[in-house]
Every structure is written in structure tokens, then in C-alpha cells.
Chains A and B, each alone.
Chain A
Amino acid sequence: MTELELERELETLHQASFGWALGCCRWDREEAADVLQAVYLKVLEGKARFDGRSTLKTWLFATIRRTAAEARRRRWVRALALGRWAGRRPSAAAAADPETLASEAESLRALRAALESLPWRQREVLHLVFHEDLTIDEASAVLGISEGSARTHYARGKERLRQRLGARDRP
């Protein structure tokens, strides 16, 4: 695949990629854009190379996830070195107060807050399946886990998410 062909393919997947980057960066838009740019840089430099073993989307999502994790680690080390770990910026979802979420916009914030409260793997599987319309099999390929494990995370995560959203929807 030439660079131009790859560019066109990536452009087609750009919106979905940004959605997944948002999920990996806890809905921090600036950070998600940085991660996506870092992914494109990896692709251009040949550090991330599509070998055709999976679909391009699965490979790209796995690269985004890895890059976001690297960025998170770098940020964590930097914060630790500067002694500012305690004063880190809270995520948008964490700032939401579940008691006051009523309108449509607040319902989205409630969903984000509920997702944020789930264990990391469960959140990732649910995001990939519901937000990105991937199958559980594809989600397991992105996360590098077995399909059985992904199904377990999916079922448990969905159950917890329903409970949390149900608790918030109740008056």
C-alpha cells in the first residue's frame, strides 16, 4: 500500500479513529487529537506498519490504543517528576455530578460518567462495540485479548453500565 493509498484509507477512518482516541483519552479532545497526530506520525515514519493480518480498522485502533497508553505513561512520569500528580486535570466525565443530570446533554455526560466508573477493560470493550460498531471478535483483536475474555468483559461491563445508568435515571 502506497503512502497516498494509506492516507486515503486513514481519512475514511478518521472520524471513527478520533472517537476511539477520545475513549482512550477519557474524552479529552486536545489529548485525543495529539494522540491521533502521533499515530499518523508513526505511520509516516514506518514505526506502525500495517501487515494485513487483520483489518486496517482493527490495526489502526490497536495502534491508537497503544499510543494513548504511551502518552498516558509519559504524562504520568512527567507529573511525578514535577511533583504535580495530585493537581492533575480532572476529566470532563469525572466532573459531572450524577444527581443533576437530566437533560439530553446531561444524559450524555451521565453515560460518560458511568463509562468512566467501569474497569478499564470493560469500558474499552463497550466503547468498541457500541460506539465504534465493532464485533466482539474485532474488539478482542484491538485489545489483544482472547474472544472469550472480551465476551466476559462485554457482559459484565454491560450489566454494570445498565445498573449505573438505571440508578441515575431513577428520580
Chain B
Amino acid sequence: MSEKEDPDLRRRFAALRDEDAQDTPDFARLWRQAQARRGRRPSRHIASWLLVAAGTAALLLATVGRHPHPTGASPAGTSAMPSLSQWRPSTDFLLRTPALEVLTTVPTLGEATPSPALSPSTERSSPS
């Protein structure tokens, strides 16, 4: 089997090749356009590295934000913030009812019963 056989097919393909060659775009034009595009387009290599770096940074931030500092020391800038145990909601005063002390303190024998009249500014005593 030789690829130099088939004169009929070769003749047909030669005609096709001639027709295809008629409208071949100018090499210089395509080359210049490619050169111009090379200058414009950022390297895909650099773009992929930037993407990886951004992803790593986002992952790092998410991890650090989720877990507390391992040494227990608060990171810089967060020392002024109150801790969670100290935080009180703004509607906390609504829970203060008269005679709250009766409910939150343990009475001892021989002591006088605390006055039920409580001012709203009375500090909430912690359970002993």
C-alpha cells in the first residue's frame, strides 16, 4: 500500500488545496497580532500562582479566626475587647425583677430577710 497511489483522489485534493490556499491570511498580520496579544495577556503561570496564594491566604485567615491563640494570649488589637464571660446583653435589665436577691442568694439562719424594695441600679450579685 503506497500513499502515492490514487491519482483521482490526489487530483481532487490538489484542487481543494489550491482553493484553500486562495484565502490564506497574511502571515505577517497573524504574527503581529500574536505578538501584540503576548504583550497584553498576563502569563497564565503567574495568574495560577496568584490564585493559589490567594486561596492559601483565605484558608489561613479562616483557620486562625476559628481557633483561639494556642498560648492563651490574645492577639494584638483584641485586648480591648471584653471576653465572652463578661459580656452582658443590652436587654439584661429586663430580667431584673424585684426581690431578685431572694432568688439568687442562699439565706442563712439568724440573718434578717433582705428588703424586697430594690432599686433598678442594684448590682446583680453572683451566686456564692
A19→B30 contact, CB < 8 A: no
Q: List 22 A-B contacts (CB under 8 A).
A: A7-B31, A11-B27, A11-B28, A19-B24, A36-B25, A37-B33, A40-B30, A41-B41, A43-B34, A44-B34, A45-B38, A104-B15, A108-B12, A112-B16, A130-B9, A130-B10, A131-B16, A136-B3, A154-B1, A154-B3, A155-B1, A158-B6
List 9 extra interface pairs beyond A11-B28, A19-B20, A136-B3, CB under 8 A.
A14-B30, A15-B21, A18-B24, A19-B17, A40-B30, A40-B31, A108-B12, A131-B13, A151-B1
- Residues in B with CB closer than 8 Å to A165 are 12
Residues of B within 8 A of A11 (CB): 27-28, 31
* Chain B residue at smallest Cβ distance from A115: B16
Count of CB-CB pairs between chains A and B under 8 Å: 75
Please report the C-alpha to C-alpha distance between residue A41 and residue B6 in the assembled complex, in whole angstroms: 38
Q: Does A66 contact B (CB under 8 A)?
A: no
Min CB gap B34→A, angstroms: 4
| Residues 20-71 of B contacting A (Cβ, < 8 Å) | 20-21, 23-25, 27-28, 30-31, 33-35, 37-38, 41, 43
Residue from A15, A22, A40, A112 within 8 A of B34 (CB atoms)? A40
B19 at the A interface (CB under 8 A): yes
* Bound-state Cα–Cα, A41 to B43, Å: 12
Give the residues in chain B near A44, CB-CB below 8 Å: 34-35, 38
Interface size class of A (residues with CB under 8 A): 35 or more
Contacts of B33 in A (CB 8 A): 37
A46 to B64, CA, bound (A): 40
Q: Are A15 and B16 in contact (CB under 8 A)?
A: no
Interface size on B, residues (CB 8 A): 27
A-side interface mostly: helix
State which residues 4-32 of A face B: CB under 8 Å. 7, 10-11, 14-15, 18-19, 22, 27, 29
Chain B CB within 8 A of A33 CB: yes
Find chain A residues with CB under 8 A from B35 CB. Answer: 44
Q: How far is the CB of A39 from chain B (nearest CB, A)?
A: 8
Interface of chain A residues 83 through 142 with chain B (CB within 8 A): 104, 107-108, 111-112, 129-131, 135-136
A35 shortest CB reach to chain B, Å: 10
Assuming the A-B contacts A15-B24, A162-B9, are A108 and B17 also in contact, with contact meaning beta carbons closer than 8 angstroms in the complex? no
Q: Is A64 an interface residue (CB 8 A)?
A: no
A161 interfacial by beta-carbon distance below 8 Å: yes
